[in-house]
A and B are shown apart, each in its own frame.
Chain A
Amino acid sequence: MAVETDTETEFGEVSRLRGAIFEYVSLGASVVGLLALAALLIYVFVDAFGLATASPAWLLTYFLTLVVPYIGFCLYSVGDRAFTRKVALALGGGLVVTAVGFTAIETLVGTIPRLTWQLAYLFLVATPTVASVTFVASREPVGTVGFGLIGRLIGGAALGCAVAVMFIVIDRPLWFLVYTLGVLPAVGVAAYGRRTDFEWTAVAAGVIGLVGFVVATVLRPVVGIYPSDGLIYLWTLGIPLAVGAAGIVWLREASRKRVAAVGGSTLLAAAAGILLGSSALPNGSGVIVTGATVAAIGVYLTEAVDADAGRQGLLLPVLLAVGALAGAAVVQLVGITTPEMWLTPEYVTSAPSNTAAEAGLYPAIVGSIIIIGIVAVLSFVLGVGAAVFLEEYAAGTGLVGRITRLFQINIANLAAVPSVVYGLLGLGLFANLLGFGFGTAVTIALTLSLLILPITVISAQEALRSVPDELRQGSYAMGATRWQTIKNVVLPEAMPGMLTGTILALGRAIGETAPLIMVGAATTVFSAPSGIWSRFSAMPMQIYAWANFPQEEFRYGVVAAGVVTLLIVLLAMNGTAIIIRNRMEREH
């Protein structure tokens, strides 16, 4: 009451208490989720890399040889004294605060299992600091160039590995024939048509490609001898890659020397890749990995070298490589004990085992990548197709409109159906009725595609709806047909949104376990699948089985390493899609 009388005499004053409480409650809500997830991830990483057994000296060595130079590079790139001071304060102050805080908690509350204050510092101070300096530096020229180069390096290699994995299940000789007789002539005709503006070349190229494909399938069993896999990769992937990379450089109107340098070095790297034997990827597929890496770097270098500023950024990979080597050398020389890591190169290249030290995830990684590749294509095509029809073609009124609405409601509800039910559908429909086999890549991929279809359809519809109607009307006003409008105006505008939806859905698909169990995916296979009709395993299946093993090394170390691998594959996949999306957004 007293407040009310006050407001009559003075200017109105509203209590801000409720607003402030609301603000902090919403802040708390977001922090709770993030903290829980962060705690989980920290433990998973600690287990996967065996950091609990890492000696402080080992951590310090790599902190000084890798992390500190990296932060230095970022600060140099930013070139702002105030910022440098802030970062130094954060690192130094954080050190004191974590050390004191951690010891206080340990003495007052009790020991925190498998964490030391050094690890807490690494995760709570060093990691966020590195992330923030990276973010700030990425907006400056030197940082942009440095991160761009690192990105090309990792991206090219990762993409190469993914393609190499895909080719594991492809019959190489057949692909060789299809490429030589179908793809190559078709591309040639299409290119010729571009130059001469001959109208029907697109159709002709299609026909030639199809004929080539048929001829190749007929010839496949007849021809008795083929080039080795390495040569097939070089001919069908290495050479086109070199031509493509040189072409991009040429389009940028670079000197002839540079075009030749990029094309030549890509070809050379690809050829060298034949010799690169590896325990994991099948013979010869090193061609794609080295070729793609060098092509990506080469194309980027010709661009970055000419840039006005930021050329120093090109030294970042060298800095990191030297840092890593120096760290390893110090560890070796001083005799610092290295932690027992679970996630090692052997882990991702060897088969599962019953002894934790030898256990690997290779067949499951290959299985997951191939499955997700098929799912990505299927769900994108089906999802976008359905969404375009529902949004652009289906009438909104009358009987058809009512049916469309019924469809719509069903799709929205399908998104909430438990994944086990989709597993049953896959088991009944694909495995039993259509005879695609139990646990084959085809059955698994179709099941997962159906599982995420509602999400892709709905998100694609949202993207299409967000395209302003004025654009469509404008296109019609120019005399464009509906097909032309959709192809030239609506789809390009909606593509980034549709891609985002598909990425999110794929993230769900790669982690699914229940439907895989239902359709009979294998828990363990010991070698990579030889075709899409052989029995597949996937990462979640193998991880789930390991989590149930009696040995502690499995339940902590091996499982954690599997989880981190799954996360890395997921991030790589999302990263690719996000880059594609951003490219498209920038083009508009």
Chain B
Amino acid sequence: MESDQAGDGRGITRRSALASAAGLGTVAIAGCTQSGGSNDEEKSINIAGSSTVFPLMSAIAEDYESENPEVNISISSTGSGGGFSNFFCVGETDFNNASRPIQPEEEELCAENGVEYIELIAATDALTVVINNDNDFATEMTVEELAQVWESDAAETWSDVNSEWPDEEINRFGAADTSGTYDYFVETVLGDRGHTDDYSATEQDNTIASGVEGDEFAIGYFGFAYWYQNQEQVSRVAIDNGDGPVLPSLDTAASGDYQPLSRSLYTYPAMSSLAEEHVADFARFFVDQTDNEQIVAEEVGYVPATPDVKQAQTEKLEAAIEDAQG
């Protein structure tokens, strides 16, 4: 390109014509070239974990990607526990989603491998108990009745639970024991009484829904999002925790009236990953979106974070990022 300057202002001589031709050629070729530096370190973010948090995380990641196409985000739906033990605590992923807090064994595993992390609240979910649309007797249940249906020594028939209910066998559809939903249900409703084995266990919410849909005397439970998007298919049960029956909804879960089944969903960023600017940036974006009504409530069907929660999460994250980037 330097040859451009060769023929300055002396009419068109042969030399200047040649030079400008060469200059044009160089420019033309330069237009068809690329810088050959070896591929820069790829900006990737790897996320694994809970299938419950998966839709929320992928919705937020999708928005982030459209604004930052140079960052490559991959998300795996592995279940909370599978994500921690197979990927996160061995240092393979940057984030792990969980539908329950990290458990002691997982904390130990992470510590063994020197993986440090912080806990961020992603959203609130209302675990929803569903029955068949034709079921008109069990539309309200106390926590004790729910426990009798699902405990390890579970009731055989509906009348065993409540004498006013029909003498029909209960058909149960629930989460598989690898899922955080199962853990949460056991922890809040069943406690030491254990979860029954006599039920159809699955990770797929639509299997539970179609099971309940096809059987008048069936009962099932899953995250609120599925019911929210398929309100015609099955009916939700109002849960009575001593203060009268409360239906699960975005409002009752946000206000805390829907007890004890409203739960927090989490994501755990690794400290070593937050040290990288693009991961920190994504984490900030994520926390910033947790109160986005459109994404969290409308698209995915969870309860957005309250201003207080979001504020607390932001401060926690900023402190962690500062700490990590030192």
Q: Is the CB of A530 within 8 A of B35?
A: no
Give the distance in Å from the alpha carbon of A555 to the alpha carbon of B206 in the complex.
Answer: 9
A522 contacts B by Cβ under 8 Å: yes
Residue with the highest number of chain A CB atoms closer than 10 Å, among B44, B75, B299, B301: B75
Q: Is the CB of B76 within 8 A of A522?
A: yes
**Which residues of B sit under 8 angstroms from A552, Cβ to Cβ?**
229-230
B74 contacts A by Cβ under 8 Å: yes
**Contact of A524 with B39 at beta-carbon distance under 8 Å, contacts A228-B32, A550-B229 already known:** no
Give the distance in Å from the alpha carbon of A211 to the alpha carbon of B21 in the complex.
Answer: 37
Q: Is the CB of A549 within 8 A of B76?
A: no
B106 contacts A by Cβ under 8 Å: no
Give the distance in Å from the alpha carbon of A534 to the alpha carbon of B44 in the complex.
Answer: 8
A347 contacts B by Cβ under 8 Å: no
Give the distance in Å from the alpha carbon of A551 to the alpha carbon of B90 in the complex.
Answer: 34
**Contact of A550 with B61 at beta-carbon distance under 8 Å, contacts A225-B33, A520-B87, A522-B74 already known:** no
Q: Is the CB of B38 within 8 A of A526?
A: no
**Contact of A351 with B87 at beta-carbon distance under 8 Å, contacts A226-B36, A530-B39 already known:** no
Q: Is the CB of B73 within 8 A of A525?
A: yes
Q: From B36, B42, B48, B229, give the contact of A530 (CB < 8 A).
A: B42
A208-224 residues at the B interface, CB under 8 angstroms:
220-221, 223-224
Q: Is the CB of B86 within 8 A of A520?
A: yes
B78 contacts A by Cβ under 8 Å: yes
Q: Is the CB of B36 within 8 A of A526?
A: no
Q: From B35, B46, B300, give the contact of A354 (CB < 8 A).
A: B300
**Which residues of B sit under 8 angstroms from A551, Cβ to Cβ?**
229
Task: Please encode chain A, from 336 to 358, with 1 for each CB lying within 8 Å of some chain B CB and 0 for all others.
Answer: 00000000000000011111000
Provide the main secondary structure of the chain B interface. mixed
Q: Is the CB of B77 within 8 A of A526?
A: no
Q: From A521, A531, A547, give the contact of B206 (CB < 8 A).
A: A547
Give the distance in Å from the alpha carbon of A427 to the alpha carbon of B87 in the complex.
Answer: 11
Q: Is the CB of B74 within 8 A of A355?
A: no
Q: Is the CB of B32 within 8 A of A227?
A: yes
Q: From A520, A525, A547, give the contact of B72 (CB < 8 A).
A: A525
Q: Is the CB of A520 within 8 A of B92?
A: yes
The stretch of B52-60, B143-151, B252-260 in contact with A is B52-60
**Which residues of A sit under 8 angstroms from B42, Cβ to Cβ?**
530-531, 534
A177-235 residues at the B interface, CB under 8 angstroms:
220-221, 223-231
**Contact of A171 with B48 at beta-carbon distance under 8 Å, contacts A438-B92, A527-B69, A547-B206 already known:** no
Give the distance in Å from the alpha carbon of A226 to the alpha carbon of B59 in the complex.
Answer: 38
A150 contacts B by Cβ under 8 Å: no
A contact residues, range: 35 or more
Q: Is the CB of B33 within 8 A of A228?
A: yes
**Contact of A549 with B37 at beta-carbon distance under 8 Å, contacts A523-B75, A534-B72 already known:** no
Q: Which residue of A lies closest to B36 (CB)?
A: A226
**Which residues of A sit under 8 angstroms from B32, Cβ to Cβ?**
227-228, 230-231
Q: Which residue of A lies closest to B57 (CB)?
A: A524
A313 contacts B by Cβ under 8 Å: no
**Which residues of A sit under 8 angstroms from B51, Cβ to Cβ?**
548
B204-263 residues at the A interface, CB under 8 angstroms:
204-206, 225-226, 228-230
Give the distance in Å from the alpha carbon of A421 to the alpha carbon of B20 in the complex.
Answer: 68
Give the distance in Å from the alpha carbon of A207 to the alpha carbon of B206 in the complex.
Answer: 60
**Contact of A545 with B77 at beta-carbon distance under 8 Å, contacts A526-B65, A550-B205, A551-B229 already known:** yes
A326 contacts B by Cβ under 8 Å: no
A69 contacts B by Cβ under 8 Å: no
A492 contacts B by Cβ under 8 Å: no
**Which residues of A sit under 8 angstroms from B59, Cβ to Cβ?**
354
**Which residues of A sit under 8 angstroms from B48, Cβ to Cβ?**
520
Smallest beta-carbon distance B50→chain A, Å: 12
Q: Which residue of B lies closest to A519 (CB)?
A: B86
**Which residues of A sit under 8 angstroms from B58, Cβ to Cβ?**
352, 354, 524
Give the distance in Å from the alpha carbon of A526 to the alpha carbon of B45 in the complex.
Answer: 11
Q: Which residue of B lies closest to A526 (CB)?
A: B65
Give the distance in Å from the alpha carbon of A220 to the alpha carbon of B36 in the complex.
Answer: 8
Give the distance in Å from the alpha carbon of A227 to the alpha carbon of B39 in the complex.
Answer: 16
Give the distance in Å from the alpha carbon of A527 to the alpha carbon of B225 in the complex.
Answer: 27
Q: From B35, B72, B230, give the contact of A526 (CB < 8 A).
A: B72
Q: Which residue of B lies closest to A359 (CB)?
A: B62
**Which residues of B sit under 8 angstroms from A227, Cβ to Cβ?**
32-34
Binding site for A on B (CB under 8 A): 32-39, 42, 44, 46, 48, 51, 54-55, 58-59, 61-62, 65, 69, 72-78, 86-87, 90, 92, 203-206, 225-226, 228-230, 295, 299-301
- The contact sample of 30 A-B pairs, CB cut-off 8 A, is A221-B38, A225-B34, A226-B35, A226-B36, A228-B32, A228-B33, A351-B62, A352-B58, A354-B55, A354-B300, A438-B92, A439-B74, A520-B76, A520-B78, A520-B87, A520-B92, A523-B76, A524-B75, A524-B76, A525-B72, A526-B62, A526-B65, A527-B65, A531-B39, A534-B42, A534-B72, A545-B77, A550-B225, A550-B226, A552-B229
